[in-house]
Copies of this chain bind each other. A is one copy, B any other.
Amino acid sequence: MDDISPIRAKSGTNQEGTSAHNRRVMIEALRLNGALSRADLARATQLTKQAVSNIIEDLESDGLVVALDAVRKGRGQPSTPYRLVPEGAFAIGLHIDRHLTRAVAVDLMGSVLARAEANLPFDEPSKGVEIILELIAGVRRDLAGISSQSEKRLVGLGVAMPGPFGLKDSDDKWMMPAWQKFPLLETLAKGTGLNVGLQNDAAACATAERIVGAAHGVDHAVCLYVGYGIGAGLILNGELYSGGHGNAGEIGMALLAPAGPGSTPLEHRASLASLYQHLGLNPADSDIYEQMNALVLAEDAKMMAWIDGAAHDLRWSVHLIETIFDPQTVILTSGAPEALARRLVEAMHPLLPSIADRPARMLPRLQLGTTDPWSIALGAAAAPISRAFDPLFSAILKTRSAPA
């Protein structure tokens, strides 16, 4: 039996941890700066030229980096820049939503190489998981067609679905109660043989923005995701923060006032679900996206009214987020058509005053992130990549070996 020791302590580290950290630091540096020579890397990471040389040699033989042509830039021996090899690693991302599921395969750089989607029967996980496993197998086959190395270099499967997770049983259909109870991760792990990780949809959006979007290289950012529900993905100190129980950022359930008639959850005012209800749309319609787009372009009165109302609450949400987190930037992403998201951001201006309203800002207080409906699946896929290659505190620690 694996009874846990009552002693509380963090794990120690050793040379393996050192090496793992340094490799990750190199990879991140190349990711953020495009291409760097060994000498550049040595200066940037504070390591010696020799240490960097050894690590780069390692990474090159692992197929994670390649040398580019030498460049002459003044006196001295020309430097040989290295860059990441996109095909150095792959991951699968899965987005499970109420009526739909999407799977993508991405490479180390976060480029989507294969994608597939399917309808899901509502809240019937035992049927749904069959569909999902087939979907995953599909993109995995597609990926194998692109790279013969794909299976060997597959670092994991990331799953994103609406949270929150692990609360008390709910009959709220909104919450997909059957999925909440279903042993999803175990089933997927068994069905795919991959490492599986879970995050909520907003966190996945933030992960996507960080790997290829507006949060690239930004260590303190909050990503507001306006989808069927609404949530916030938190990038704090360069890592995704998920709270004591994995539900940080689930702001859809935040009440808009302490009591009284205004005390409704944010989700009821500023989410696509609220939009569908306001406009009498059916989210199961296959052309729902086009319907929304048309209404925005036509400046439909009811649509505009919803935008104004949602913007009113979102403007305030941004104010609260800035006041609480003091981020470098807030990114608004959405599952809605880009035109709608853009109108929403415009309607949120002017922003409320806050501590973010400082003299020398590098980044805008609020920016529009991606509105690609595949971005949640992309973010889900980016999570295992990040776990495997980003410099994380947890990555230096010794891992508890499985008990005999």
Q: Chain B contacts of A258 at CB under 8 A?
A: 312-313, 315-316, 319, 352
Residue of chain B at shortest CB distance from A29:
B9
Main secondary structure of the interface of A (DSSP, over half): loop
CA distance A391 to B11 in the complex (A): 10
CA distance A229 to B294 in the complex (A): 49
A386 to chain B, nearest CB (A): 14
Which one, A61-69, A72-80, A333-341, A354-362, is touching chain B? A354-362
Given contacts A47-B14, A316-B257, contact A327 B8 (CB under 8 A): no
Contact with B along A386-403 (1 / 0, CB 8 A): 000001010011111000
Task: Confirm or deny: A51 has a beta carbon within 8 angstroms of a beta carbon on chain B.
Answer: yes
**A interface with B by C-beta (< 8 Å):** 5, 7-15, 17-18, 21-22, 25, 28-29, 32-33, 36, 40-41, 43-47, 51, 164, 166-168, 217, 219-220, 232, 236-237, 239, 241-251, 253-255, 257-259, 262, 312-313, 315-316, 319-320, 323-328, 352, 354-355, 357-359, 391, 393, 396-400
In the bound complex, do residue A8 and residue B33 qualify as a contact, i.e. CB atoms below 8 Å apart? yes
CA distance A15 to B237 in the complex (A): 24
- Of the A-B pairs whose beta carbons lie under 8 Å apart in the complex, a sample of 14, sorted by A's number, is A8-B44, A11-B25, A12-B47, A14-B51, A18-B18, A45-B398, A168-B358, A243-B326, A243-B327, A249-B326, A250-B323, A255-B316, A259-B312, A320-B320
